[in-house]
Structure 1
Amino acid sequence: MRAMEKIGLLVGVFAFVVCAIYWGWTSTFVQGVEWVGVIGLMLAGLLGFMIAWYLWMTRRKLERDPSDDPLGEIDEIQGDYGFFSPHSWQPLFLAGAAAVCFLGLAVGWWLFIIGAFLAAPALVAWTFEYWKGPNAL
């Protein structure tokens, strides 16, 4: 995890250095600074620092990460990575509804509203897909 922290710091420092160079390069007395690129590079630098900070905070809470051990083996990384549904159709329906919504941005708001009405039940069905018992939908 330390290597990923260093990559996040490297991205942050690089983006801020390039931001300073870009600011100086685009600033003129006639037109001023080109702010879109400057702000975009600042946000990219903050994103790199945010990733590095999150990984640092996570590493402090964990015991020892096998990826930090140069002599570590791949089988030392154990544990549950989460539950992944192998047979759910709900992401397909939600992706179709999202496609209709994005098409509605180009065609008209009426199509966006239809896509939103299609997306709401698909999202609810995907969220509550594995609820069992008396409170199931």
Structure 2
Amino acid sequence: MRAMERIGILVGVFAFTMAVIYWAWTASTVIGVEWVGVIGLILAGLLGFMIAWYLWMTRRKLDQDPSDDPLGDIDEIQGDYGFFSPHSWQPLFLGASAAVCFLGLAVGWWLFIIGAFFAIPALVGWTFEYWKGPNAL
């Protein structure tokens, strides 16, 4: 986890350095400073520092992470990564309706509405897929 912290800090420092260089470069032109790029690089730097801060806070609360042990094996990082539904069709329907929605942004709002019409039941079906009993959908 320490290596990931350092990568976050490196991304933050790099983005802030590039923001200063980009600001100086665009300030020397006739048009003036191009603020969208400068603000985007500053936000990227803040994102890198935010990731490093989160990993640092997480590392402080936990025991030593197996990835920090130079003599550790890869199988020490095994564990439960979450529950994934093995036979669910809902993600396919949700992905297809999201594709129709995004296509609707380019083609027309009528297609977006059709995609949203199919996306809402797919999202509800995926969310409540494992509800059992009298209150099931």
Tell me the TM-score normalized by structure 1: 0.94
Q: Give the whole-Å Cα distance in 2 for the aligned partners of 1:85 and 1:62.
A: 29
Q: Give the whole-Å Cα distance in 2 for the aligned partners of 1:45 and 1:122.
A: 37
Shift of 1:45: 0.6
Q: Give the whole-Å Cα distance in 2 for the aligned partners of 1:115 and 1:66.
A: 44
- Confirm or deny that 1:73 pairs with 2:92: no
Shift of 1:136: 1.7
Aligned to 1:49: 49
Aligned to 1:89: 89
Shift of 1:29: 6.6
Aligned to 2:5: 5
Aligned to 1:100: 100
Q: Give the whole-Å Cα distance in 2 for the aligned partners of 1:21 and 1:14.
A: 11
- SS of the residue corresponding to residue 71 of structure 1 reads coil
Shift of 1:133: 2.4
Shift of 1:58: 1.2
- SS of the residue corresponding to residue 133 of structure 1 reads coil
**Match for 1:84: what amino acid?**
F
**Match for 2:54: what amino acid?**
Y
Alpha-carbon RMSD:
1.2
- Segments of 5+ residues of structure 2 without an aligned counterpart are none
Tell me the TM-score normalized by structure 2: 0.94
Count of residues paired in the alignment:
137
* Percentage identity across paired residues of the two chains: 85
- Segments of 5+ residues of structure 1 without an aligned counterpart are none
Q: Equivalences for 1:17-32 in 2 at 5 Å? A: 17-28=17-28, 30-32=30-32
- SS of the residue corresponding to residue 70 of structure 2 reads coil
Q: Which runs of 4+ in 1 moved over 4 A?
A: none
